[in-house]
Structure 1
């Protein structure tokens, strides 16, 4: 076989392999961002191999072109990613979008080995309002309502940096008050009612183990007289269950911060996003009710699908353990400790006379006895732990026609923040002990 014929056979064989690989790529799809990057690099190298096979120029010249082109691309890539390493650019600002289950996928967040992630110091954010249930139902953002949030030097929702605080509030997104203006968030209201300085150390996405770290790292240095620990029944149990697994998978901190801010990841994530129109979660449409407010206006309210899931005893114990540890640490420092139970929307709304459950699916739901179980566990562990269930106060307000929860979200309205703050204020004024609920037979 002549040399040219031999080269042609190799070229066509290489082309066949390339086409077969491309077909497999299209048929199997891409499962991860790293998988996509691997395929892009492989396709680039294979493309050059095909170019070398089919062109008529000397291989040395082809090699020179390959080195110059690849070197130029690598140089540009190093410049782009070098800006990330120097902290000059965060490509999430340009390309980022929240990816479910990936907290670091949006700008303004950084990796933390114990907390998994934190808000950037003094970060500010503005966006049109869109509730979490509304997003799942494909309700578009409301440009008439702007969410404006700012954080302090430690990444918490305080209007200014604090060196001390008489009261420290620990919790998750309910305390952070993401949809609530600074002047109406629960900690601002509590500060006004108590006439004391209050530090908001609530952080969205945190569970009990992370909140214990927050108390030790950021709460105690403020030398508080009182610590209020807000426990949300909705996801604090799940967060407690998953924390250790997430901690093991968290990886290297330097790499996590670089990777999520990098051009490579954010462009790849952009390519991953579906161009298909939003598809509503039809199951959520079955979880709705009609709420009649004090102005005799009817509003459709939606509930989250996990609001009435049962909690096993091991899960409850795992979630309570960090709270008991926090109470011990506070007692050692002569700090008053109060646990505030934050209920789901359905627990507050389900039996109101001014609310009509709209579907058979939602009428099948029943509330659990989690508030009482939690209070008894805490009392058994340490009778000095103070406890307030926010459900009665929120229910009383809602019964009078005050919407305490957002209709298309799981969090409180501005009025709900005020009601919850007043309930905590009254508990702090009244003191301890509180009467324990009866045990179920």
Structure 2
């Protein structure tokens, strides 16, 4: 065989080996951002190796081109990421690389090893209203209902930084106020009714374990006289179950908090994350249309309201105890400091609306739903564990207002309306006014 033919065969075989390598990278798929970056770097190096083997230039010149090109790319990359290191840019805000289920992919959030994530200090944004159920149904945002959201030095919804507060409110998104203007927040209303300073330490996405950490780190240093703990029957249970797994993953990650924040703000991650965003048009979750009703308000105007599919999900005894344990710990912390402690039960929308005369359950699926006696179970378990814990169920007051034609829940969302915030604040106010705090034993 001629030498030229031999070299040609070797070249063809080598080229086939590289094609197989690229094929392996392509067909293995991409499951996460790290996998994507591994594939991209591998493909880049394979391409240069192929170029070096077949280019009609000396190998040394090919190597020089590789070093110059790679060096230029790395230099530009360092400049772009350096802007993140010095805090000049957050690529989440520029690229909007939001990923469902990844809280830190959203602008204005920072990593916290204990809380998992929290809002950045003094972060502020303006956004048009879009309900969480409405989003799943592909109902577009309403630009006429824009709300300005702002946070204090610790990432909570307070109009100003607080050094002290007579009342501290702990909870999740119901307390933080989902698209609720500052003046209509439950804590703003409660402050007006009580004539006292109220700190809003509600945080969306938090469960009982995180709320206990919030009380320790941010609530108790405010030296309150009263702590109100809002317990939501919806995702407080799933959040309690998931917390240990999430914190274990956070600890095992091994990165310092600073590098966690840098990674989520970085150009590398946010450009990569764009490839994981759905590129197709919004596809409505048609199953949610089965969970709806017609609400007749005080002016006899009917409107369609939707319910979350998880609203009547049963709760096991183990999950119930796991979710309530942090509350008992919080009660003990308050009792040791002579702080009054009140638990407010926050119900799901269906629990409030399901049996009202002015609410018509319009589908067979929603008519099959049944509510449990969870508010009573929670009250009994708390009383058995610590009789000194005060308790108020917000369900009757929200139900009475809704029966009178006042929509207390947003039609296409699981949270309260402005009126729902008002009713809840008035109910907690009455509980604090009417109930006599249990006399605490003297400190030893």
Deviation at 1:17, TM superposition (A): 3.3
Per-residue CA deviation, residues 113-153 of structure 1 (Å, 9 max, x unaligned), is 11000100000011111111011111111111113100000
Give the aligned partner of residue 169 of structure 2.
Answer: 169
Deviation at 1:178, TM superposition (A): 2.5
Partner of residue 290 from structure 1, selected from 276, 290, 294: 294
Relative to 1, partners in 2 of residues 1:217 and 1:2: Cα closer, same or farther, differing over 3 Å?
farther
Deviation at 1:23, TM superposition (A): 4.0
The question of whether the paired residues in 2 share the 8 Å contact of 1:147 and 1:178 is answered with: no
Deviation at 1:10, TM superposition (A): 4.0
TM-score (norm 1): 0.96
Give the aligned partner of residue 307 of structure 1.
Answer: 311
Give the aligned partner of residue 115 of structure 1.
Answer: 115
Relative to 1, partners in 2 of residues 1:384 and 1:408: Cα closer, same or farther, differing over 3 Å?
same
Deviation at 1:42, TM superposition (A): 1.1
C-alpha distance in structure 1 between counterparts of 2:23 and 2:183, whole Å? 57
C-alpha distance in structure 1 between counterparts of 2:98 and 2:39, whole Å? 24
Deviation at 1:70, TM superposition (A): 0.3
1:341 is the counterpart of 2:335: no
Gaps of 5+ in 2: 439-444
Which residues of 2 match residues 93-108 of structure 1 at below 5 A?
Answer: 93-108=93-108
The question of whether the paired residues in 2 share the 8 Å contact of 1:287 and 1:361 is answered with: yes
C-alpha distance in structure 2 between counterparts of 1:406 and 1:9, whole Å? 71
Give the aligned partner of residue 428 of structure 1.
Answer: 432
Task: Give the aligned CA root-mean-square deviation in angstroms.
Answer: 1.5
Per-residue CA deviation, residues 309-354 of structure 1 (Å, 9 max, x unaligned), is 0000000000000000100110000000000000000000001100
Which residues of 2 match residues 367-378 of structure 1 at below 5 A?
Answer: 367-378=371-382
Relative to 1, partners in 2 of residues 1:285 and 1:57: Cα closer, same or farther, differing over 3 Å?
same
TM-score (norm 2): 0.95
Per-residue CA deviation, residues 368-402 of structure 1 (Å, 9 max, x unaligned), is 11111110111011101000000000000000000
Relative to 1, partners in 2 of residues 1:6 and 1:203: Cα closer, same or farther, differing over 3 Å?
farther
Give the aligned partner of residue 441 of structure 2.
Answer: none
Give the aligned partner of residue 359 of structure 1.
Answer: 363
Relative to 1, partners in 2 of residues 1:422 and 1:2: Cα closer, same or farther, differing over 3 Å?
farther
Give the aligned partner of residue 354 of structure 2.
Answer: 350
Relative to 1, partners in 2 of residues 1:68 and 1:415: Cα closer, same or farther, differing over 3 Å?
same
The question of whether the paired residues in 2 share the 8 Å contact of 1:187 and 1:200 is answered with: yes
Gaps of 5+ in 1: 435-441
Relative to 1, partners in 2 of residues 1:37 and 1:161: Cα closer, same or farther, differing over 3 Å?
same
List structure 1 segments (4+ residues) > 6 angstroms apart after TM superposition: none
Relative to 1, partners in 2 of residues 1:58 and 1:401: Cα closer, same or farther, differing over 3 Å?
same
C-alpha distance in structure 1 between counterparts of 2:431 and 2:35, whole Å? 54
